[in-house]
Amino acid sequence: MTTRIVELRRGILKKNDELAAGLRSRFTTAGVLVLNLVSSPGTGKTAFLERTLRELRARGAQAAALVGDLETDNDARRLAASGAPVRQINTHGICHLDAEMITKHLEGWEGVSLAGLNYLFIENVGNLVCPSSYDLGERIRAALLSVTEGEDKPLKYPGLFNSADAAVITKIDIAEPCGFDRELALHNINEIRPGIRIFETSAKTGAGMDDWLAYLAEQAKPY
């Protein structure tokens, strides 16, 4: 027997990366801005997205959402109340969405064509670790954290926060009773992802939503 070393230098998630690259070019061709929303469970992704969808529709934009959860279609039903087309992705135990799931769920989505959309939101499974490895073809990865989670969340999950294009702080309406240290949170986000755009929002009161919507409009094609 002889042994030999073979150099590979191949990405482990190459298949996902290739599928994601295909999705990205489809999204670009269709002129739809795609966002991947990532946070812990309970941050308020669904409430934030519901408000975003409603406000976008009120401004005449076409927006749709894919929403990932391990089980149940509760979030899709909540989001559908905004009037936007919503499709649930159940991962049945898998802790993240991948490009194949997105590809599959874009097929046969009744009443939705990518070219007819200005925005497509992908609400990832509540998890701050695993989704960071899986490119979904999005243009903007938004990391969300709520005022109830502790200002050091970005330091605890640098892999995700460092890969984000935007950070959204949610539930700022209850920042005070939670003893949320705003300066510290902003500092920590910036230490992990220098120069990132940060939005301070409340889905309940609507605070900060104008700023967020202006950012979306600036990133998207004109509608």
Partner 1 sequence: MHELSIAASIVESVTESAAAYPGAHVKEVRLRVGALASVVEDSLKFCWELATEGSPLAGAALVIHMLPVILHCDACGADTEIAGVQSFRCPQCGELAADLRQGRELESESIELEEPDEIEEPVEEQV
Whether the CB-CB separation of 214 and 206 falls below 8 Å is answered with no
Which residue matches tokens 């605070």?
207
| Residue 195 binding partner 1, by CB under 8 A | yes
What gap in Å lies between CA 167 and CA 42, rounded to an integer?
16
Task: Characterize the bridge pairing of strands 140-146 and 197-200.
Answer: unpaired
Given the rule CB under 8 A, which of 8-16, 36-44, 111-119, 211-219 is the region that contacts partner 1? 8-16
Instruction: By CB under 8 A, tell whether 96 contacts partner 1.
Output: yes
Q: Which helix (H) or strand (E) holds 210?
A: helix 209-219
Stretch that binds partner 1, among 18-26, 50-58, 59-67, 191-199 (CB under 8 A): 191-199
Tokens matching residue 194: 């220098």
Q: Which of 215, 31, 35, 216 is nearest to 137 (CA)?
A: 35
Interface with partner 1: number of residues (CB under 8 A): 35
Q: Give the residue with the Cβ less far from partner 1, 57 or 139.
A: 139
Residue (62 or 133) nearer to partner 1, CB = 133
Binding of residue 1 to partner 1 (CB under 8 A)? yes
**Start-end of H helices in 67-138:** 74-80, 99-106
Q: Does 162 bind partner 1 (CB under 8 A)?
A: yes
163 binds partner 1 (CB under 8 A): yes
Interface map 124-143 toward partner 1 (x if CB under 8 A): -----xx-xx----------
Cβ atoms within 10 Å of 210's Cβ, excluding its own: 11
Q: Which residues bind partner 1 (CB under 8 A)?
A: 1-16, 94-96, 129-130, 132-133, 155, 158-160, 162-163, 190-195
